Structure 1
């Protein structure tokens, strides 16, 4: 496995950070999720090809994440986690996601959904619900978010006693068949959009793997899931109708998947460098030029992650500014990843794109994962925001 790119351009000593529990002694301090993810990345990378197949899922890899404490890391300290979703720890969250993506983009995609779900549960759940779902996470249950749907979307039929029967399907249900506590959205009779958590180990669901015939990210198992005839009760409902789309959390979360994507670009960089060394092509001036370009791109992405973290830590930032900044981050990192892929192709040539070299899989996975919804609208929203601001460019995103 090639040396980590992080060692070339260290942004901060994040891998040495610890998250102390306010009620714990120094000896009981919680080890940084960044360090755990960085240590796990080479192992994830080495295993990635085995689950890269139709219907595959990185089951063993998620056991490794559980053992490393990463599945509980998004929980607050008092719930047994590392409080990774606290705004002050945003850079550590992004670095954790990046390292997991560097190891395996499919694992990173599912883990990002797990972290997102735990964040939403802690934000909108009632105290008893949060305690229960945190206990589920500590017991090893995998969470995620299923929101995308087609014409046969999910709706809730009211029953007696505050219960509901579910009807309809979700598409792109990442981790289908593996997630036991997906956070799902559905339509109420009055048109409201309600979140709920479905214990899929207790309720019937029908999975359609034929839906998922992707270019890449095969191992995310993003199948169509039919929830018809499953039932939920009042304790399964999360928050109020419409909470899921509250800003800036909804659009601002784009920085998380951008961090995973940047991890994929780092893997491409590392493998390109390894390939050139192995084939004795490091003295070629054009290869050196391309690697220089790639290094600039990767470090630019890391600086965008730092900017996103700095912005998240600003208590005075308004929702529009946070959404606009997140949209710039996802746009910039998408371009960084696409340019990195192009340069890597030119570096390794046709020979490097043959299996068992990892470029073919990395290229498919990263290209597919970059196709996040509404990229043009995201960039236009950032433009709308800056056009409305009276501040000069140097102070658009911070007060000086």
Structure 2
């Protein structure tokens, strides 16, 4: 039986308490929905900033806005936000969500990633089934990080598998109902699968998550030991998760979320100075000029990332795309750290006191910037550059 998908809903926020729902079908409408939703997310952020908490209401708003289904293809009731041609629109959408609440942006980026991987590697019947789950309100995510007791898939009779082991940093644990998880097969291959977590409940260890920032992401330790799934939950073939340029190239998505937080820091710093009537101070003017330049440079990096993501996926271009993505994530880290440093000087000790938003933004962004293997990322970009012969002006723009 064919599944009929509902029309996309977009959202307009007239105030912190009023939503106007109207229909739309384009990727650009999703970006506009995220941009208009950002102030409401920001207003709610202090309430959800609790250790072990989760922004439940915020994801209801994203769901009502059609943003949970926007990364699906139009054939599946989405807006084609996942297509390479719409990469810049996707990055801007992620940036707006991160501007509203970095914890929401982190979990939403995982949802987007899972839907992209599902559409790229799953079989048509699986894709239709999981797209229907997204329309039904299920939240997707990607749980890949693990410690020594990583997840293993032990074969059973009848094409079934028993899960053993745990994942760490499982963002959205207890709320993500369709996590895409990687597990090791007996032959050593890494297999993706989507767990119906509302039916097969893993054991959650909330004590693992006692972070500096990003408290509302509920990134717990997740023990899957003893759960059983069928091969029908497998996504693609072993090793697909680590295929390039998608694996490393996906760093541009979290970089976009980080830039959204940097924009929020800029906005809050300016508001704070305007409130104190410090706008005529020449030193504050200089600092705000620096902040504006840093934020705009981040937006230019997103444009460059989108340009590379839309290129053909030939082996040579894939290598360049990965190297460029590593440049983007490195540059964005530097931009965000510099934004935080300058903003601290602008607001002083008073601005770092709760309930000023800057205190939470500083904690969340500082924590989220700690992505894995930053030195290896920039070394990879340098390694690529050393293998090329083009002059600098052609290295990334052939």
Bigger mean CA deviation after superposition, 250-259 or 46-55? 46-55
SS at 1:391 equivalent: coil
**Partner Cα separation in structure 2 for residue 201 and residue 69 of structure 1:** 22
**Partner Cα separation in structure 2 for residue 146 and residue 190 of structure 1:** 21
- Determine which of 106, 109, 112 is the counterpart of 1:112: 109
**Partner Cα separation in structure 2 for residue 115 and residue 28 of structure 1:** 19
Q: Deviations over 1:97-149 (max 9, x none)?
A: 00000000000000000000000000000000000000000100000000000
- What TM-score does the superposition give when structure 2 sets the normalisation length? 0.93
Q: Residue 28 of structure 1: CA displacement?
A: 6.3
2:5 match: none
1:133 match: 130
- How do residues 369-388 of structure 1 correspond to structure 2 at under 5 angstroms? 369-388=368-387
**Partner Cα separation in structure 1 for residue 38 and residue 92 of structure 2:** 12
- How do residues 1-400 of structure 1 correspond to structure 2 at under 5 angstroms? 29-30=25-26, 32-315=29-312, 318-399=317-398
Is there any run of 5+ residues in structure 1 with no aligned partner, and where? 1-14, 16-26
2:3 match: none
**Partner Cα separation in structure 1 for residue 353 and residue 197 of structure 2:** 40
Asked whether the 8 Å contact 2:204–2:222 carries over to 1, the reply is yes
Q: 1:29 to 1:151 in 2, by over 3 A?
A: closer
1:24 match: none
Asked whether the 8 Å contact 2:252–2:302 carries over to 1, the reply is yes
Bigger mean CA deviation after superposition, 388-397 or 370-379? 388-397
SS at 2:187 equivalent: coil
**Partner Cα separation in structure 1 for residue 125 and residue 226 of structure 2:** 26
**Partner Cα separation in structure 2 for residue 28 and residue 339 of structure 1:** 38
**Partner Cα separation in structure 1 for residue 381 and residue 281 of structure 2:** 40
Q: Residue 281 of structure 1: CA displacement?
A: 0.4
Asked whether the 8 Å contact 2:151–2:166 carries over to 1, the reply is yes
1:4 match: none
Is there any run of 5+ residues in structure 2 with no aligned partner, and where? 1-10, 12-22
Q: Residue 398 of structure 1: CA displacement?
A: 2.0
SS at 2:181 equivalent: strand
2:20 match: none
**Aligned pair count?**
375
Asked whether the 8 Å contact 1:272–1:344 carries over to 2, the reply is yes
**Partner Cα separation in structure 1 for residue 191 and residue 330 of structure 2:** 29
**Partner Cα separation in structure 2 for residue 368 and residue 207 of structure 1:** 22
**Partner Cα separation in structure 2 for residue 392 and residue 382 of structure 1:** 15
Runs of 4 or more consecutive aligned structure 1 residues displaced over 3 Å after TM superposition: 27-31
Q: Deviations over 1:198-219 (max 9, x none)?
A: 0011113100000001000000
| C-alpha RMSD of matched pairs (Å) | 1.3
- What TM-score does the superposition give when structure 1 sets the normalisation length? 0.92
Asked whether the 8 Å contact 1:197–1:238 carries over to 2, the reply is yes
SS at 1:318 equivalent: helix
**Partner Cα separation in structure 1 for residue 24 and residue 296 of structure 2:** 34
